[in-house]
Amino acid sequence: MPALVLLGAQWGDEGKGKATDLLGGSVDYVVRYQGGNNAGHTVVVGDQTYALHLLPSGILSPDCVPVIGNGVVVDPAVLLSELSGLNERGIDTSKLLLSGNAHLITPYHTTMDKVTERFLGSRKIGTTGRGIGPAYADKINRVGIRVQDLYDESILTQKVEAALDFKNQILAKLYNRRAIESGRIVEELLAYAEQLRPFVADTTLVLGRAVDEGKVVLFEGGQGTLLDIDHGTYPFVTSSNATAGGACTGSGVGPTKIDRVIGILKAYTTRVGSGPFPTELFDEDGEALRRIGGERGVTTGRDRRCGWFDAVIARYATRVNGLTDFFLTKLDVLTGWERVPVCVAYEIDGKRVEELPYSQSDFHHAKPVYEYLPGWSEDITKAKTFDDLPKNAQGYVKALEEMSGAPISAIGVGPGRTETIEINSFL
Ligand code: GDP
Ligand code: IMO
Ligand code: MG
C-alpha cells in the first residue's frame, strides 16, 4: 500500500490530525500538499496536545519523514516558530523536507487578506487572515515568490518589486493604506533563508522514488472537500484544491500511484467562517454539540458553527474524491441524545433533491430532509471494537455508511490516539 490520501470530507476540522497521527507510526512519509497555516490539526498523544498548522502531523512520529510539498503556501516566520516550538517540547524536526517550489506567504499577503476582508464587509468570506488567498492569487498570476528564490538575492529583489508594484497601487489608492517598501520585505525574507536551507529539497523526486521503492507515503489534506476552490461552496471556500486531486498536483506524485483515499468524516457537521450550511443549528442542540465537541477553531479561536450530519455532503465527498474509505470521528460527542437527526436529502423550492446542487442559489435555498435515528446513552469512549458499541450507536454508523457510499473503516470515540475503533486496516 505505497500511497494513500487522507482528507476532510466536510468543511474542515473533521479530525485529520488525529487520523494522520494514528497512521504516522506505520508510514515512511507524511506530506502536506495544499493550504498553509490556515489549517489547525490537533494531535493528542498521552497527556500532550499539539496544534499543528503548517507541519504535517507525521512530524510527531520519530521514524516518519514529514514533507511540505510544492502545493503548500508557506509563511516562513510561522514555519520557523512552529519548528522551534516543537523542538522546545523535545520533538526532533530535522527530517523535514520543504519543496523549493512551494510559494511563500509574505507580510504583504497577510495585509492584503485582512484589508480585502474588511473591504468586503458583510460579504466577507471569514478567512483565517493568514494570507492564503493572496499568496495563491500571486502564484496563479505568476508573480509569486518561491522558496528557491530565497537563495538568489537579485532574483528575489526583482520578484518582490514586481509583486509590490501592483499591490502598492491597490493598497494606496483603493484601501487608503501606506505602500509596503520592497527592501524591507527582501531583508526579512533573506533573514529566513539560511535557517530554512537544511530542509529545502526536490520533494517531487524524493516522493517519486519513495513510491517506486514501495515506501508508504501518506498525503495529509488541509481544510475539506466543501472548502475546495473548485468543488466547494464557492466563493465561501479556501484558495486551494483540498480534494484528492490536489494531492497529485501539490506533490508531483501521479494519480496512478495513489492506492487509497480516506475521507475523514465527523459524526455531525461543523463549519468556520461564512457560507451556506443546510443542517446548521441555532438552538440548544447546536450549543450542546459545540460544548461537548469542543468546537472552537484551532487557528483563529472562533466558535465553529454546528449542525447535524449531512449525508448529501458525504455522498458528494465520496464522488469527487473517489473515496475508498471513511474514518468516522467524534461519535462519542453524540452520546446522550434520545434520537439523532441525519439529513438524507434536501428540499429545494419544494422539490426533493438527493445530490449536492451545483448551483450556488439552489444550495443557499436547500432545506434539510431529516431521518431520525435512535440514540444511545452509554459511554462509548472505552470501546475498542465495533461490537463494544451499544446497538443504537452501531446502527447509527451502519446507517451513515449506507448513505455515504464508502465503508467506514475506523471510528473515533475520543481525541486520543488509542480512542479509535479500527474496523478495516488502512495499510
Ligand atoms: P483537523 O483540522 O481535521 O485536524 O481537526 P481539528 O484538530 O481542527 O479538530 C478536531 C478536534 O476534535 C480536535 O480537538 C481533536 O482532538 C478532536 N477529535 C478528533 N477525533 C475525535 C474523536 O473521535 N472524539 C473526540 N471527542 N474528539 C476528537
Ligand atoms: P483544517 O485543516 C476549517 C475556512 C475559513 C474560511 C475559508 C477561507 O484545520 O480543517 P482561508 O484563510 O483559507 O482563505 O479561509 O476557509 N478554513 C477552514 N475551516 N478548517 C480549516 O482547516 C480551515 N482553513 C480555512 O474559516 O471560511
Ligand atoms: Mg482544524
Q: What's the average pLDDT block by block, 10 residues per block, for the chain (427 residues)?
A: 94 97 94 98 95 96 97 98 98 98 98 95 96 98 98 98 95 92 98 98 98 97 98 98 98 97 98 97 98 94 97 98 98 98 97 96 97 98 98 98 98 95 94
**End position of a domain, from candidates 198, 213, 233:** 198
Instruction: Please state the atom number of ligand 2 nearest to the C-alpha of residue 222.
Output: 2
Contact 71, 240 (CB under 8 A): yes
Mutation test of ligand 2: which of 110, 223, 226, 228 has the most ligand atoms closer than 8 Å to its C-beta? 223
- Does residue 49 sit within a domain? yes
| Residue 263, φ and ψ in degrees, nearest 5 | -95, 125
- Indicate which CATH number applies to the domain containing 179: 1.10.300.10
Grid cell 496536545 in the structure block, residue: 49
Ligand (nearest to CA of 272): 2
Ligand (nearest to CA of 264): 1
**Among 31, 39, 34, which Cα is nearest to 78's?**
39
State yes or no: cis peptide before 374, omega within 30 of 0: no
CB of 56 shorter than 6 A to ligand 1: no
pLDDT value for 299: 87
140 CA distance to ligand 1 centroid (A)? Answer: 32
Residues 279 and 402 grouped into a single domain: yes
- Does residue 93 sit within a domain? no
> Which H or E run contains 196?
helix 182-196
- Does residue 52 sit within a domain? yes
pLDDT value for 1: 65
- Indicate which CATH number applies to the domain containing 334: 3.90.170.10
225 CA distance to ligand 2 centroid (A)? Answer: 11
pLDDT value for 133: 98
The residues that are catalytic are 13, 41, 139
C-alpha 58: how far from chain center: 15
- Does residue 402 sit within a domain? yes
CB of 332 shorter than 6 A to ligand 1: yes
Instruction: Please state the atom number of ligand 2 nearest to the C-alpha of residue 275.
Output: 27
pTM attached to this predicted model: 0.97
- Does residue 332 sit within a domain? yes
220 CA distance to ligand 3 centroid (A)? Answer: 12
**End position of a domain, from candidates 173, 198, 223:** 198
pLDDT value for 215: 97
Rounded (5°) CA angle 88-94-95: 135
Question: Cell digits for 277?
Answer: 450550511
Binding residues for substrate: 298-304
Secondary structure class of 175 (helix, strand, coil): coil
Domain membership of residue 151 as a residue range: 103-198
- Does residue 58 sit within a domain? yes
Q: How far apart are CA 253 and CA 31, in angstroms?
A: 11
Q: How far apart are CA 122 and CA 361, in angstroms?
A: 18
Contact 220, 30 (CB under 8 A): yes
CB of 18 shorter than 6 A to ligand 1: yes
Instruction: Please state the atom number of ligand 2 nearest to the C-alpha of residue 8.
Output: 10
Report strand pairing: 367-374 vs 339-348.
antiparallel
pLDDT value for 298: 86
